[in-house]
Amino acid sequence: MTDRYLVVGSPIRHSLSPVIHQAAFDELSIDATYSARQVEAGKLKPVIDDLRAGRLAGVNVTMPHKSLACELVDRIDGDAILASSVNTLLRTGTEVVGMSTDIPAIRAEWQRKSLPDSSVLILGSGGAAAAALVALTGMEVFVSARHPSNLENLRQRLGIAFEIVPWATPVPGVALVNATPLGMNGESLPPGLLAGAEGLFDMAYGALPTPAVIGAKTLGQPVVDGLDILVAQAGLSFEAWTGYSAPRKAMRKAVQIAQGW
């Protein structure tokens, strides 16, 4: 019987998860399908019920469901407890377990690309920024967002210490984390941020490498791009569901073809 996997969110049309995961299933000759489903805020429970009943084999959740899913699953695993955010749902026996593969993927890619591990400037205040804060605990952390009040809320929710700096203010000598959508449609990061940085971790991705990725590579900085992190977190989800080692080269090749890289 064919196993069915889903990614759910709103909006969901832009998701590359079906391309990535179907490539993995096909590469390993696993009888499974992976598709995207538009699910509005507050409508996640039927999906979880289908997973619990065995009608689905696994689910990825994206915005706006990452926090709400924590309230609907039977158990939250690992770093997702601190972040209060999950992106992967799996069934163990009769339980539905929520986990975050975003956080370990950030750590893994950070180490793989040898980014500096002393100080970091995170741009953003949403779920991606929260995942980065949890993943990079132990470093000296600066955070900048257009709406500083969001950062106060984030600090209280996570209980993680960080210094708030005004939006678009360069901090010399840091690794720069872009946890905003800037770059997905060709936008540049605010001027001056890259020049004094010692590496870039860009969570945005689009049809082409973002201007920030191009700029950082021109400066000779170590770079993690949006496709790196996308494939890394997808690979961890795949492994949690199937128990097989994810074919990451095939997954990245599929998404590069889909994006025209």
Q: Give the pair of three-digit tokens for residue 93.
A: 């026996």
Q: Residue 133 — very low, low, confident or very high, per pLDDT cuts 50/70/90?
A: very high
pLDDT of residue 127: 82
CATH topology of domain 115-221: Rossmann fold (3.40.50)
What are the start and end residues of each CATH 3.40.50.10860 domain in the chain?
Answer: 3-100+228-259
pTM above 0.85, yes or no: yes
Catalytic residue among 43, 45, 66, 113: 66
On whether the CB atoms of residues 5 and 242 are closer than 8 A, the answer is no
**Does pLDDT of 79 surpass 80?**
yes
Please indicate whether residue 43 is annotated as part of the active site: no
pLDDT of residue 105: 97
Q: Residue 135 — very low, low, confident or very high, per pLDDT cuts 50/70/90?
A: very high
In terms of CATH, what superfamily is 3-100+228-259?
Leucine Dehydrogenase, chain A, domain 1 (3.40.50.10860)
What are the start and end residues of each CATH 3.40.50.720 domain in the chain?
Answer: 115-221
Is the preceding omega at residue 46 within 30 degrees of 0, hence cis? no
Read off the pLDDT of residues 168-221 as tens digits, 9 standing for 90 and up: 999 999 999 999 989 988 899 999 999 999 999 999 987 789 999 999 999 999
pLDDT of residue 98: 97
Distance CA 122, CA 129 (A): 7
pLDDT of residue 1: 87
